[in-house]
Structure formats: structure tokens, C-alpha cells
Amino acid sequence: MNFLELAEYVIKKVQQPLTPNEIWEKAVELGLDQKISSKGKTPWASLGARLYVDVRDNPQSKFEPVGKRPTKFSLKNITPNVSAENASITSKPEKYTERDLHPLLVKFADSYYHFRGAKLKTIFHEVSVKAKKGYNKWIHPDLVGVYFSFNDQIREYEKVIIDFQNDFSITSMKLFSFEVKIKIDISNLREYYFQAVSNSSWANEGYLVTLKIDEEVIEEVRRLANSFGIGLIKLEAENIEESQIIVPATYRKQLDIDAMDRLASENKDFADFLQNVIDDNKIKKVNSKYDKVLSDNEFAEYLKEKGFVK
């Protein structure tokens, strides 16, 4: 079975338009993913690409696009069935919350080569100083992180190089900001992206992080990143090592100290994080408390408990 045959089967089965992600999710539920020969890490993206090309270039295409935010695909000459039973396929609520994604990102950052064992900390918005409604909107990142050269887990530099970096502040430390979302599509992309822009100016690198993303918005993220520098991370819950930075963040050497000061004055978690960074950097050892990196066994249990896997 190829991707187009799979899409045709699924859409016939549910009798309603679906996005490529929804088609793939239903295909997995039906066991059809085992009949696809593709070995790619993001088969739903490949499925979406095949559908877009087929609709665009094939006059005899069996598919037709429906809507734009997001684009869904239907079969020609099929009247959609919008019964409650079928509607539940696309509207079924997730068991987990955005904050439940934090341990996934912490696990990813601990081993992914770009972050080189960075230490992450959750920022709890609810502990912030109460202010006039709207005053502190979009200033809180979901997680913050720090990379110390002395804690580098990827490459063991000669001691003289580590000392040189630390003495002269040459990439001896890097600060990260993360805004975490369950799903990004064309309807919420700009709101989420500029939320990340707003709360990441204090960091060297800022990222928008998501578990699910519609393929059609990735190019828009690339365009936005060219102007505003916020990167994009796609998490893979069941295979966290397959998570990836889809769009790199722009490294900022100059930090927004005013934004950092405002956030530290309003949120104790962030102020504590900065103090941890100062203390650990002084003794050249990670001695402070950051979010725990779950062991492989703990992580597998966590995924089941939160409903990321069945």
C-alpha cells in the first residue's frame, strides 16, 4: 500500500475530510501503518506531501482540499458524514497537558547534541507576582535552560581549553528559553510563535516546542525564524531520541537584560534559576536543582501514565 492508497482507504472509512496528521493517526489505529514501506521518521509529513502534489499536479486526482486553516482532504463525490461518532475522531481530547510535555523536553535536551546536556527548569507562571490583567502576558517562558561548558557531555575538551573558555567567557555558558505547545497548526501558529518571541528575548536561543504540527506550517515557521530567530522543536514521545530541531534558532550574543530583570522580579522560579546558574558557574559544578532527567524506565512509565502511549 502506498500513501495515496492509505489516505483513500482512511477517508472512505471515516467519511469526512481529514488533515494528513489525522489520516495517519487513524491509519495507525487501524493498523495500516504496518502496510506502508516508508521508513521515514515523519510518515505523516510524507503523506501530506504526496497528497498536496497529487491534488496540484494530477487532473484525475481522487482527492480534493477542504478549507485552509488547516487544509483537510476529502475524496471527490463523497458526501462527508459528520455524525458524532466520526466527529470524535478529530475532536477527541488529549489526556495530557502542555506541562506534561516538560519531562519529554528535559529528556531530549539531556542527550541531543545541540544542547549538550543542558539543564532545564520549569517556570511556574502561577507563582508570579499578581499584576494588572494583561501586564505580564507573554513574558513567562514554559521552561528555561542553561548549558555549561564544564558539564559538556558530548565532547571532553582538554582542561586548558575548558579553563580558557571559562576565564574569558568564550561560549562557556548558553541560556535557552522554551515555549511548549501540544499542537501547532495554521490557526494558532502566529499567536504561539510571537508568544515565544515575546518571552525569549532574554536568552541566547529561543524555541517553540510541539508534539504535533501540521506539515504546511513548517515553511511559515522558517520564514518567521529568518526575521525573528525563534527555532522549532518537534518532540517524538515514543522515541524521544528521534525528536529534532526542525528550524534552528538564531544565536543572540547580546541578552535583553531589561526583560531578564522584569521576569526575575515577577517570578521567583526564574530568579532562582538565575541564582542557580551563578552559583554553579562559580564552583564549575552542577550543584543546583533543575528538572529531573527521567531514566529510561521512569520515562517509559511516565509516557504510559500520562497517555502518550497505550
Cα-based distances in Å from 257 to 139, 172, 261, 263: 13, 19, 6, 10
Regarding whether 84 and 104 lie in a shared domain, the answer is no
Which residue range(s) make up the domain with 61? 3-91
73 and 104 in a single domain? The answer is no
- Please check whether residue 142 lies inside any domain of the structure: yes
Residue 207 belongs to what H/E stretch? Answer: strand 205-213
> Which pLDDT belongs to residue 220?
93
Residues sharing a CB contact under 8 Å with residue 110, sequence separation 6 or more, in sequence order? 117, 118, 153, 293
pLDDT at 77: 72
Final residue belonging to a domain, choices 91, 110, 128: 91
pTM for the model stands at 0.66
**pLDDT attached to residue 138:** 63
Is the same domain home to 234 and 193? yes
- DSSP structure string for 217-280: GHHHHHHHHHHH--EEEE--STTGGG-EEEEPPPP-SS--HHHHHHHHHH-HHHHHHHHHHHHH
Q: Are residues 169 and 61 in the same domain?
A: no
Q: Is there a single domain that holds both residue 219 and residue 270?
A: yes
Considering the domain architecture, whether residues 78 and 121 belong to the same structural domain is answered as no
Among residues 46, 65, 91, which one ends one of the domains?
Answer: 91
User: How high is the pLDDT of residue 90?
Assistant: 45
16 with 84, same domain: the answer is: yes
Q: What is the pLDDT of residue 134?
A: 47
Same domain flag for 14 and 30: yes
Please tell me the total count of domains within the chain.
2
Is 310 domain-assigned?
no
pLDDT value for 35: 75
Q: Let me know whether 75 and 112 are in one domain.
A: no
Pair 143, 73 in one domain: no
Interior CA angle at 146 toward 140 and 151, to 5°?
Answer: 165
Estimate to the nearest angstrom the gap between the alpha carbon of 48 and the chain centroid.
19
Residue at a domain's end among 91, 115, 132: 91
Q: Is the dihedral of CA 109, 113, 114, 115 positive or negative?
A: positive
- Tens of each residue's pLDDT in the chain, 310 residues: 788 988 899 998 888 888 888 898 888 888 887 777 765 677 888 888 889 888 888 888 999 888 766 778 888 876 554 443 344 444 445 678 999 999 999 999 998 989 988 999 999 987 676 554 444 556 789 999 999 887 764 444 555 555 655 555 545 689 999 999 999 998 899 999 999 999 998 999 999 999 999 888 899 999 999 999 999 999 999 889 889 999 999 999 888 899 999 999 999 999 999 999 999 988 888 999 999 999 999 999 999 999 998 7
Same structural domain, 60 and 177: no
Instruction: Give yes or no: residues 187 and 39 share one domain.
Output: no
